[in-house]
Amino acid sequence: MRPPDKHRPLVLRAGTAATLLAAWPAFTQTVPQPAQAASGPTALPAQDVRAKALKETATGPVAGYRATRSATATKTDTPLAETPQSISVITRQQLDDRGVSSVAESLRYSAGVTPGAFSYGGDVFVMRGFNVDDEGLLLDGMRAFSNVFSSSIEPYGAERIEVLRGPASVLYGLATPGGVVNIVSKRPQAETLREVGVELGSYSRRQVNADFTGKLDEAGTLLGRFTFLGRKADTQYDWTRDDRLYIAPALTWKPDAATTLTFLASYNRDRQAYVWGSQYHVWGTAADGSPVAGRPIAQLPKDFNFSGPGVGFDRRMATAGWLLEHRLNDTLTLRQNLRYADIKTDRNEVWASYFGSGLGLQADGRTLNRIGVFRPDRDRNLQLDNQAEWHFGTGPLQHTLLTGFDLRRVRFRSEIRTDGVIRPLDLFNPSWVEPDWGAMNTISSRDTTHQRQESVYAQDQVKLGEQWAFTAGLRRDRIRQDAKNKNGVETDSGWMATTGRVGAVWLAGDGWAPYASWSTSFEPVASQQGRSFDPTSGKQFEIGTRWQPVGRPFSLLASLYDLRKTNVVMTIDNVLEQKGEVRSKGGEFEFTWTPQRNWDLISALTYTDARITRSSGTDQGKSVINIPKVTASVWSMFKPAAVQGLGLGLGVRHVGDSRSSSATVRNPSSTLMDAALNYEAGPWLLALNVDNLFDKTVLTSCDAALCTVAYQRSLRARATYRW
């Protein structure tokens, strides 16, 4: 049963915003266009618009699938070949060809990354065996959020998405050791681009989008950009939505050749699914209610959602800030990046009440006890990053010295309100009644957290001739956190941490660049049982190589790493101690190839052995849950010359099996296929994307009672007009 369509006002707002967009093309036309001003704008094919990008920079557009520069690993505009750490760039063209609609989805074909099974509500994924959520998600080189339920960035607003694997605290402060993902926003361009699009798809999906950029004055000192997306959609689960309104204006001011000031702002309004534990799979129970191995007693429908009507997120997110750069001379450049974010999230959730009570089933084996929860959250944070970049020489050495000071202020408030127990549900003959969310006034939890972070860092990139590139960095972080619970009890915590990185690259010639590096990270640990703990620590040694010959249409990245996370809190004789350790060892391989001008191919292979190497429990020596040892993928987009404008895309993704939190159930392996078909004729691009082409059902994140059903087959057809 599909619930009735709700939230009609979003469509009205989307329509109003789309109407306002009509003024933008006329506005950008105030700049005279040579040779075509009299006859009107000339349509540009989508491929030509991308290819017209000027010299590649670390934050600008990329023609095709292969980037050569990035700033995510160094905070400076650095060739990938001179970066002593594994990093990949997902370009705008790849995002468009695959029809990506979430950040987690964009990572499906990247080595070392396993996206979450169902990412509505927040972007979650695993890198090198460690969970990455809000702490590892960056927006324009700054931490984006303070809470995983706040972390959802619209990929249509991204110019490129960059994946830095391994510890990154030396530049970004507190973070999980697995790595970070940096979303680089679309920024105003001098080259005029205008596009509008409409998309229809599975689960009643309806979407409109627009993107306009160009000069705002004849001299080109003012550049503007306006990006918009509005969507109404259901999801594969009953009672869930995937609605979004996204607006992102941007303005660049270049008063002279040495100064650039870019203002970036965005507004998101999301009404999205909440599907924690929404698939209830009864694997079998003994007489005492404990789980036993075996096939499920009954297979519930794939779209079944025991949460029922009314569940989901209502999230409003507004951000504003600037990116300022001023080149004082050929030696010194100053930069200041600032962003303020205000995110308000209301979550209506229904949980299975199996905590401490078996599987939550009553004695009849089919009636599920449930708990209704209302969770209003507010996340406000301000981040400021000041940088100075020097270029100078000392004898045979050429230095790029970066020094910086950044600060962050966070105020986060969260509540959990409940009425205890809501109506039980017969799993096989459900009767749906929406909980009275407004009546949930019992506050079981209310926490207000203030966090202050100040950091200083320095990094020196040294070139020795044309064959050696060295990188060394050091950072010192100081964090203070004040927390107050619903009873007025205050807890003050403080952490100091020093992190670093050293690395070397041998530029061996013909595009070969073997490298080695050592890096560290830290992550604060919340107080428990009235005790404060030291931060966890991450340490990694990595070796690898890149091969990206000049003038050749391919690039290769291969790496081996040994990564340890220490100071993990564990229980010893009912006492919490920081003696736990998790170790992840593995290798990654990525290959990007353009065998012909009209053919792009990417492939990835990952081996991850993530284990609990020190623990007081029975899990010592076991693999980390939900971490597959082997993943592999291939994506290809081919445009046959025999049929001008036609594009054919095909992808294969394999995820190996993994240990679950249950001793009797494993997450099964899966192999899925994606496909794309597009046709380009003048200013028009017609595209069809199909995810999970053969509609395979994949269960993941299983425990004794619950599994998540990963994405089912979905189709998205879109028409885009560019001029």
pLDDT cut 70: percent of the chain above it: 84
Cα separation, 624 vs 660, in Å, equals 8
Lowest mean pLDDT of 47-51, 429-433, 443-447, 530-534, name the range.
Answer: 47-51
Note whether 251 and 222 are within 8 A (CB): yes
Q: Which amino acid is at 276?
A: W
pLDDT on residue 492: 87
Lowest mean pLDDT of 97-106, 577-586, 706-715, name the range.
Answer: 706-715
The residue that leads in pLDDT, 217 or 12, is 217
Cα separation, 100 vs 92, in Å, equals 10
The dihedral over CA atoms of 40, 46, 48, 52, expressed in degrees to the nearest 10, equals: 90
Cα separation, 406 vs 403, in Å, equals 10
Helix H segments across 88-180? Answer: 92-98, 103-106, 169-172
The residue that leads in pLDDT, 579 or 51, is 579
The residue that leads in pLDDT, 14 or 208, is 208
pLDDT on residue 351: 80
Cα separation, 337 vs 382, in Å, equals 11
Q: Does 48 have pLDDT greater than 60? A: no
Cα separation, 504 vs 81, in Å, equals 11
Nearest C-alpha neighbor of 475 from the set 174, 180, 178, 169:
169
Structure-token pair, residue 681: 């004729």
Nearest C-alpha neighbor of 63 from the set 84, 89, 42:
89
Query: 9-722 architecture in CATH?
Result: Beta Barrel (2.40)
Across residues 121-143, what is the average pLDDT?
A: 87
For tokens 């400076």, the residue is 76
For β-strands 259-272 and 242-256, DSSP reports them as antiparallel
What band does 148 get if pLDDT is binned at 50, 70 and 90?
low
Q: Which amino acid is at 385?
A: D
Across residues 291-310, what is the average pLDDT?
A: 65
CA atoms within 13 A on the CB side of 397: 10
Q: Does 16 have pLDDT greater than 80? A: no
Structure-token pair, residue 687: 């595209």
Q: Does 551 have pLDDT greater than 80? A: yes
In sequence order, the 6+-apart residues with CB closer than 8 A to the CB of 685 are 46, 678, 679, 719, 720, 721, 722
Cα separation, 169 vs 177, in Å, equals 8
Q: In whole angstroms, how far apart are CA 116 and each of 127, 179, 297, 473?
A: 11, 15, 26, 32
In sequence order, the 6+-apart residues with CB closer than 8 A to the CB of 676 are 97, 98, 99, 637, 647, 648, 649, 650, 687, 688, 689, 690
Nearest C-alpha neighbor of 14 from the set 195, 238, 196, 153:
196
In sequence order, the 6+-apart residues with CB closer than 8 A to the CB of 693 are 672, 673, 674, 675, 713
Structure-token pair, residue 631: 């993943």
Length of the chain: 723
Return the number of other C-beta atoms located less than 10 Å from residue 15's C-beta: 12
For tokens 């990952």, the residue is 606
pLDDT on residue 424: 87
Lowest mean pLDDT of 53-67, 334-348, 499-513, name the range.
Answer: 53-67
Q: Which helix (H) or strand (E) holds 79?
A: strand 78-79
Structure-token pair, residue 220: 């080109």
pLDDT on residue 1: 41
CA atoms within 13 A on the CB side of 556: 11
pLDDT on residue 12: 37
| Per-residue pLDDT tens digits for 502-536 | 999 999 999 999 999 999 999 988 776 667 788 99
Q: Does 294 have pLDDT greater than 50? A: no
Q: Does 53 have pLDDT greater than 50? A: no
Across residues 587-603, what is the average pLDDT?
A: 94
What band does 50 get if pLDDT is binned at 50, 70 and 90?
very low
pLDDT on residue 305: 82
In sequence order, the 6+-apart residues with CB closer than 8 A to the CB of 241 are 6, 7, 233, 234, 235, 271, 272, 273, 312
Q: In whole angstroms, how far apart are CA 413 and each of 351, 362, 379?
A: 22, 36, 7
Note whether 282 and 359 are within 8 A (CB): yes
Lowest mean pLDDT of 72-86, 106-120, 159-173, 668-682, name the range.
Answer: 106-120
pLDDT on residue 115: 83
DSSP string, 383-425: EEEEEEEEEEEETTEEEEEEEEEEEEEEEEEEEEEE-S-EEEE
| Buried b / exposed e along 152-186 (16+ C-beta atoms within 10 A) | bbbbbbbbbbbbbbbbbbbbbbbbbbbbbbbbbbb
Cα separation, 217 vs 32, in Å, equals 10
Cα separation, 692 vs 494, in Å, equals 46
Return the number of other C-beta atoms located less than 10 Å from residue 596's C-beta: 12
The residue that leads in pLDDT, 512 or 362, is 512
Q: Which amino acid is at 519?
A: S
Return the number of other C-beta atoms located less than 10 Å from residue 59's C-beta: 21
Phi, psi for residue 19 in degrees, rounded to 5: -65, -40
Q: Which helix (H) or strand (E) holds 446?
A: strand 442-464
pTM, two decimal places: 0.89
pLDDT on residue 281: 55
Q: Which helix (H) or strand (E) holds 19?
A: helix 9-21
pLDDT on residue 500: 98
What band does 390 get if pLDDT is binned at 50, 70 and 90?
very high
Q: Does 288 have pLDDT greater than 50? A: no
